[in-house]
Structure 1
């Protein structure tokens, strides 16, 4: 489950809300990077609140929603720019969201359980810290709320924008986290939450230790599909790599990827980008072919940190249920056979998750969720190598959403009417839109 939860102590950070009338000539919508520069903020999160009192048409279509004028009309002085307003959060707060997700640790039953898209939520933990949640893949409101509730002591969590304009921008390294990007700096939006470390606050030692850099190479891409079998390698590689990135950045690690979409990505360019970035560690994400079975990871002939990284990743991959063929090296005419471990200046490994042409092994990464599990396992191995702590009790698998009575009735009806086995039903439910499909089939059967 590709979800990042950023948490801020209010004694350490200033947090405020900034907004502009959507498409107003004087204060137009801006990219997240523009907001960060104008507000002198270290990090900005999109709120996607639009004009509720009227409507306007631009290249994004007709917009209706909430803006600063509406909030002021409700008696809320939210401020603009760096004014003292500091984002008060409560269950009726229109600034932060229009729907309650979690209150006092309880997930709202009104949350959507079928519509899957990128999500954006914010709120408070019981100890008073501010939490902002971003997802880079498609999830239901209920899944995200339950994920956060299961891992954090949540006092309040509010749903914000649910569309492609969700995202965050971190000024320190130019990191744009946006599921659907428009241009290099994000889609223009009219309202953001701004985060800035207070000037008189010393950076905690534990945060100083987390200023590590990791490079993720994403194997193949564009016209080079990589291995093709029960899954397409270049596609699985990207899903795994994105999940790895998200888990690392959620733990304070700076990450650069060789590609974040399907495009040409030759190995010599990967090595060049990696060396220019000068990271602490690097991994190249691949999947295998040739009729074998299991995970394997290659490190340099010289061993050292690269070998430790390979061993740590292998341990985490085994924990998610995949068997391992081992940590390996390969001799070539110039030393290491593979350019990614031979020519990179930092310790580097090549991860081969599954054999895409072996049916049973490919099934280990046969869904997007399973591919994300590999990415998180890689990230945990990296964190182990860097000495960065994470929640070892938390499962790498997403929290399973509770099934309501109506949905369970639909599952039962389809299974009985079609004579399907429990295993087949689970296969359907694991499909990204499986729950929606089952509901539609049940509705047709009732007619």
Structure 2
């Protein structure tokens, strides 16, 4: 097996959360006038940590080789989303990735795409406690919802606003640790059996799942608290028929610790309880109710803020919009595995593997090189921007030898949790190293149709 040189150092680097004030003062800003200083080669990115309350103090820190953090670290974002935009870094020079792309969109994203920003956002997600149950709209639903809210005059920044843009929000999560989630409704008969086994058969009358859910989400005041109390009581005192639901009942009890008066603590009996092993991924389409409960993963999603929350949250909930968007049909859980990708060639036979999904906005691939010996692969961007994120190990990126003379001699070294961007103008580049690396880009068929 032919192997290339490894990165110059396997030493772990501390992830920096942002530039020092002094650095900000001496790094030149990038505008449309000087954006051409960038060369067709890989560049390091500086991401943004999101300190949401459900985050872990240890999961991301362990990846970086550091002690637990003082605050929960829920997500590490790499993209141009305004809620946590990344910066591109080249020595002493730093600039917002969004500004750089906007100045030369064809050069960065690909010829004729029509976009001026990244259509996707990649992140490391570390859940120590459950996230909210939520659904995302389709493109058509998002456009109609956005138009309604614009007509109402409600500011985009209003906390009770649901539609902040016109986009859908598909997403895929690839587990880096054992990962637990709730996903899509169970068949109606299975829901009925579960409720009956726990002595809750009369709790949700109705001939369809939609009718049952509508009754639950429209509960108000004391009725909500009474509903949740009865669910918790049943889950805490399981009789013999209920023991088949022991995992679900444990999760009901955990959810009740955080949201004791929320009827959606019943969700583990309504939705599929999904346990992902390392390497497995879960893709979520429009309308599918879901919640991430616990674990570490890489998530790739459309760069949108359109979230309709159902429950298990302190944020505003719109039950009527939820009923308009949610898909109450029984869901099929597909645990996805990556498949070989012919778009990269490795010395020794290894290559990227891709997760196949219906998403038109993004494509997630992974490169796994076990052991300490470095492998070298060549990659063609096919006129598409690529964003690379290291989950484990160390890698070095550089433009191919036949690239621009100045660009070909420059490399970027990455360790765990580090990321880099490769502009579409860089036709070919090389990756050397070992560990686990993820790649986000637009699917080739979509890129060619733009």
| Band the TM-score falls in, shorter-chain normalisation | under 0.3
Higher helix share: 1
TM-score of the superposed pair, with normalisation by structure 1: 0.26
TM-score of the superposed pair, with normalisation by structure 2: 0.26
**Higher relative contact order at CA 8 Å, sep ≥6: structure 1 or structure 2?**
2
